[in-house]
Amino acid sequence: MSQQPKTPRTQPRSSSIYDAYALSEIRRAAATGVYDIRGGGAKRPMPHFDDLLFLGASMSRYPLEGYRETCNTAVTLGDRFAEKPIELKIPITIAGMSFGSLSGQAKEALGRGASAMGTSTTTGDGGMTPEERGHSTQLVYQYLPSRYGMNPDDLRKADAIEVVVGQGAKPGGGGMLLGQKINERVARMRTLPQGIDQRSACRHPDWTGPDDLEIKIHELREITNWQKPIYCKIGASRPYFDTALSIKAGADVVVLDGMQGGTAATQEVFIEHVGIPTLAAIRPAVQALIDADMHRKVQLVVSGGIRNGADVAKCLALGADAVSIGTAALVALGDNDPRWEEEYEALGTKAGCYDDWHEGLDPAGITTQEPELAQRLHPVEAGRRLANLLAVMTLECQTIARANGKSDVRNLEPEDLVALTVEAAAMARVPLAGTDWIPGQGGF
Amino acid sequence: MIDIDLAEETLRNANKRMQGIQPDDNERSFILRNPRGAHAVAAGLNAPMDVTIEGHVGFYCAGMNKEAEVTVKGHAGVGLAENMMSGQVRVTGNASESAGATGHGGLLVIEGDTSSRCGISMKGIDIVVGGSVGHMSAFMGQAGCLAVLGDAGPSLGDSIYEARLYVRGKVDSLGADCKEKEMTAHHLDKLGRLLDRAQISANPRDFRRYGSARQLYHFKIDNVGAY
Amino acid sequence: MCGIVGLYAKNPAFRDSLGAHLATMLVEMSDRGPDSAGVALYRPTAKAGTVKLVVYGAQDFDWQALRLGVAKAFDPDVDLDQRGRHAVITATAGLEDLRGWIAEHHPELRLVSAGETIEIFKEKGHPRDVVQHFGLEGLSGSHGLGHTRMATESAVTTEHSHPFSTGRDLCLVHNGSLSNHNRLRARLRKVGVEIKTDNDSEVAAGYLAWRLAEGDSLTEALDRGMRELDGFYTFAIGTKEGFAVLRDPIACKHAVLAETDDWVAMATEYRAIAPLPGADQAEIWEPQPGRIYAWGA
C-alpha cells in the first residue's frame, strides 16, 4: 500500500467572540431557559488601575523617609451637616454586604477586622444584626429600595446612614437573594417566607429623583436628630451628574461603585454590560465636586476592584477621599481559597473562579447560610486576616505616597500619575507615559 | 396639652420636643398648627403620646412612627407613616402616594382616598382606607393587611408576597401573581376586628379578599411574562 | 428634577395679584430647584391686534435703540418693558415679520417667547432672586406657570431653564426625566422644529409644538405624546387660554392640584399651594396618571 501524504490542515482556531465561555453560556441557556445568575463584579478585562503608574521621586521631587517621617492616613467622613462625623484611621472601609448573602460568621469577621484597624463596616440588603453592631466600632447602615429590616432604632444605633441609589455591579437593579439562602433567620429579618426567591425592587418605594431625595434625606435627619452623616451610594453610570445631584440633594458623602464592584447575585449580563469601570468614574465625580466647590467638603468614597495599596493610592491621587473594599475583604477572610480546591471542582468550578454564591454552597463558609459550611469560617482568625490585609494596603499606600513626597496620603494628586494606555490616559485624565498628551483634554 | 404653632416654631424644635419625651412625662398630648404642607412633621416619634396636626402635611408625616398616635386633620403628602413600626396614624382627608410604604406594624387609617402605591412593600402594617386607592397598591406587599372600602386602581397587589388585601368596591385590575381568594369565617372575623380597631364601619361580608397566587416564589421560565 | 407650579385665575378679580401669588409659590419650590427659575405669565394686553415678543440680551444691551428701531419699522406706539436682561416688546405688527426683523437686526438677542399674551422670563440663580429680578410680585396676569430647576443631565444655563416655548403663546414646564429624548430630538429637528439645547424638557416642548402645528388639538397632541415620550414626567402646559397638566402612567413624580372659586393651582408639593388665599378650604386632589387635566385650554 502506498502512503499518501496527509493534506496539511490549518491550525484549529476558536472565535474571539464565540469563545469557550460564550459557547458554554449559550448551551447553558438552551438547556435551562433561565438567565445566568452569579455573584462578584465585572470579570472581563477593561482599563483599571494597573494601567496607571506613579512617577515617584526624582531630581525635582523629594521623597519622605519611611516610618520616621509621618504619612498621615486618617480621614473624616461626613462633616458637612452631621454633628458626629465618621473618623477613620485609614482611608479604606468595608463596603455594604448583607447578612443573608454572607453568613453571620463572615459579618462578624468583617466587623472585627475593620474595628482593629479603626475603620468602618457597612450593612447590606437585609438590615442590621446585633452581632454586626456589636463587632463594628463604626457601622454604616444602608437604606435600600427594599427596606428589609429597616427600623428607626437601628437607624439611631448606626454611626452613618448610606442611602443606596444603586451599586456598580447593577446600576438600576435591586437586591437578589434566592430561596436556598433564605433560612429561618434571614426570612424573619426580611419578613419573607422561608425558602422562596426574593424578588427585588429597583427603585425606592417613596421617592424618585434627587429633588425628592432631598426631602427624604431631610426626613432621615429629623429622625436621627441631625447627628449622623448621610452617604449616597451610586453605581458608576453618569458620575458627573450623579455626584452633582447627590450634593444638591444634601448628601454628606458620595460613595461611587464601579462595575468591578461585586454583588451577591444578579444576572451575568447586568454585571458585565451595564455600568462603567471604576477608573472611568472617578475624575468626572471629582470634577462635579470641584465645580460645586465641595471637594473635600463632601467626601468621595470609591469602590469597585480595589485590591491593594497601589489601587488605594491611585484612587486618592485622582481625588477620592477614601476607598471601600468588598471582594478583597472576602478573599482575605478566605473566599475562593485553594485549600477547598476539591470542593470547588465538585461544584464545577475552580478556586479563584467560584462565583455561584447565590446557591449558598460556599466551601469557604462565607457566602452561605448552611451551618456546617459557615462553621468553617472562624471569625476571630478571619478578622485578624482582614486586619492584616487592611494594614498591608495602608502601608503600601503610605509607601507610594512617601515616594511621591507626601506627608498625607490625600495629598497625592493626578499630576503624580501617568498612564500606560491611551484609554487609561483618557479615563484618568493623566498623560500617556513619556508624553504630555492627555487624550480628550484640549481638543483631541 | 402642648400647643405648637409651626408658623412660629421651627419644625426641628417641634420634632425634637416630641422625640425627647421622657417615660415619666405626664404631658403627652400635642397639637401642631399651621403645618402648611411641611415635610417630616412628627417623623421619628418613639414613645406613647398623642399628636394632633391641624392642617395639611407634606411628605413623610409620621415617618417611622413608633408607639405614638398621630392624627392629621387634613390631607397628607407622599410617604405618610412610611416604615411605621407600631402605634397609630390617622388622616381625616386624603393621602398621597406610597402611604404606609414598607410599614412594619401599627395601624394606618386614611378616611379619604389614597393615590398610587398604598402599602407598597408593606411588612406587617395594617392599613384601612375609607375611600379608594390608586394603582400599584400593595405592590410587593410582604405582610400585613390592607382593607379598602372604595375601589382599587390598576395592578392591585402586583408581585405580592403574603400581605392580605380586602376590597369592598371594584378592582380595576390585579397585578402579577395576585388573585382573588376565598373569604372564610376566619377572614371575616379578622377583617371585622381590623375595621373595629380603625373605627371604620363597614360589613366584612361586602369585601372580597385578594392575595398571592405564589407562582413567582421560585423562578420558572414559563412565568417570564410576569417579570 | 425640579419644582413646577401653575396658577389660573377663575375670578377676574384675582388677576391683579396673580404675579405676587405665583412668586410665592415659586419661592416655596426653591429647595428642590435651586439652580435657576423661570416663569411664563399670560397677560392679555389692552390693545387688539398687538403681538408680544420677549427677548433676552446682554447686560449692557441698548434697549432704547431697539425700541426706536421697532417703532420706526412697525409701530410708533411700540411698548418696550425692560426687566433685567429681558425685554417685553408689544407692538402692532405681524408676529413673524417682527421676529424676523429682530433676528436680522439684532442677532445677538435671544427670543424667549412669542405670541399675543405670553411673557416668559427665565434666569440662572436662586428662585428668590429671579423673582425679584423680574418684579414678578407686581405683575398681573390671567394665568401663569413657573419652574425651579435642579439641573440633572444638562448644564445650568438660562437657555436650559424652563419654561420652554416652541410655539405661539405655548410653553411647557417639566418635572421628571425623559429617557428617549435624544432620538426624538433628531427626529424633531428633521421635521423643522428648532431645538437649541440638549435638555430633555425642550424636546417635550418641541414635540408638543410640532403636533399642534400639524393640526392636533392639545388633547390629541398630549395623548400621542404619552405614547411617544418615554420616562418619568409631570408636565404643565400653558396656552393662550389656560393650562393643562399631565402625569406619565407610572406617576412617580408627585403633583397636586387645588381649586377654589377664585383660582386653580398646581404644584409639585402642597406647601407651594398652602400660602394661597383660601387654600385651607380649597378642594385638593392629585392628577391621575395618564389623564389630561385642562382649564381654559
Across the interface, of A33, A152, A222, the residue whose CB is closest to B40 is: A222
Quick one: DSSP state of residue A118?
T
Q: Identify the closest residue of chain C to A243 by CA–CA distance.
A: C152
Mutate to test the interface with C, among A211, A218, A291, A293 (most CBs of C within 10 A): A211
Q: Specify the pairing of strand A299-303 against strand A253-257.
A: parallel
Are B154 and A186 a contacting pair, CB within 8 Å? no
Are B81 and B103 a contacting pair, CB within 8 Å? yes
Question: How many other β-carbons are positioned within 10 Å of the β-carbon of residue A430?
Answer: 24
Count of H-run helices and E-run strands, chain A: 15, 14
The predicted model gives B144-172 an average pLDDT of 97
Distance from CA of B203 to the nearest CA of A (A): 30
Can you give the pLDDT at residue B224? 61
Can you give the pLDDT at residue A341? 97
Distance from CA of C238 to the nearest CA of B (A): 25
Give every residue of chain C whose pLDDT is below 50, as ranges: none
Which chain A residues are within 8 Å of B14, Cβ to Cβ?
A: none
User: Which amino acids of C are annotated catalytic?
Assistant: 2
Can you give the pLDDT at residue C153? 61
Which chain B residues are within 8 Å of A155, Cβ to Cβ?
A: 64
d(C-alpha A252, C-alpha A231), whole Å: 6
Interchain CB distance below 8 Å, A248 and C153: no
Whether B223 has a pLDDT exceeding 70, the answer reads: no
- Beta-ladder partners of B108: B89, B127
Cis peptide before C163 (omega within 30 of 0): yes
Q: What is the pTM of this model?
A: 0.93
Location of C-alpha cell 423661570: C38
H/E element, B72? strand B69-73
Mutate to test the interface with A, among C152, C173, C200, C270 (most CBs of A within 10 A): C152
What is the Cα gyration radius of chain B? 18
Is A226 an interface residue toward B (CB < 8 Å)?
yes
pLDDT-based confidence at B44, cuts 50/70/90? very high
- Could you list the mean pLDDT of each consecutive 10-residue stretch along chain A, which spans 444 residues? 79 95 96 92 97 93 83 96 95 96 95 98 93 95 96 97 95 84 90 89 93 97 97 97 95 98 94 97 98 96 98 98 98 97 96 94 95 96 98 97 95 97 98 96 81
Are B67 and B40 a contacting pair, CB within 8 Å? no
- Give CA A153 to chain center in angstroms: 27
Q: How many CA atoms lie within 13 A of A371 on its CB side?
A: 3
Interchain CB distance below 8 Å, B77 and C269: yes
Cα–Cα distances in Å, from B106 out to A373, B61, B197? Answer: 39, 15, 11
Interchain CB distance below 8 Å, A205 and B217: no
Quick one: DSSP state of residue C120?
E
d(C-alpha A62, C-alpha A403), whole Å: 8
- Give CA C6 to chain center in angstroms: 10
Q: Identify the closest residue of chain C to B74 by CA–CA distance.
A: C280
Can you give the pLDDT at residue A1? 55
Percent with pLDDT over 90 in chain C: 78
Across the interface, of C31, C151, C254, the residue whose CB is closest to A214 is: C31
Whether B153 has a pLDDT exceeding 60, the answer reads: yes
Which residues have CB under 8 Å from A163's CB, separation 6+? A143, A213, A216, A217, A220, A230, A231, A232, A233, A251
Which residues have CB under 8 Å from A377's CB, separation 6+? A103, A105, A106, A109, A333, A334, A364, A365, A366
Distance from CA of B7 to the nearest CA of A (A): 18
Across the interface, of C1, C232, C254, the residue whose CB is closest to A245 is: C1
H/E element, C256? strand C256-259
H/E element, A88? strand A86-88
Interchain CB distance below 8 Å, A209 and C33: no
Can you give the pLDDT at residue B72? 98
pLDDT tens digits, B57-83:
999 999 999 999 999 999 999 999 999
Q: What values do phi and psi take at B193, rounded to 5?
A: -65, -40
Distance from CA of B183 to the nearest CA of C (A): 31
Distance from CA of C142 to the nearest CA of B (A): 25
Interchain CB distance below 8 Å, B58 and C275: no
Is C151 an interface residue toward A (CB < 8 Å)?
yes
Across the interface, of B58, B96, B97, the residue whose CB is closest to C271 is: B58
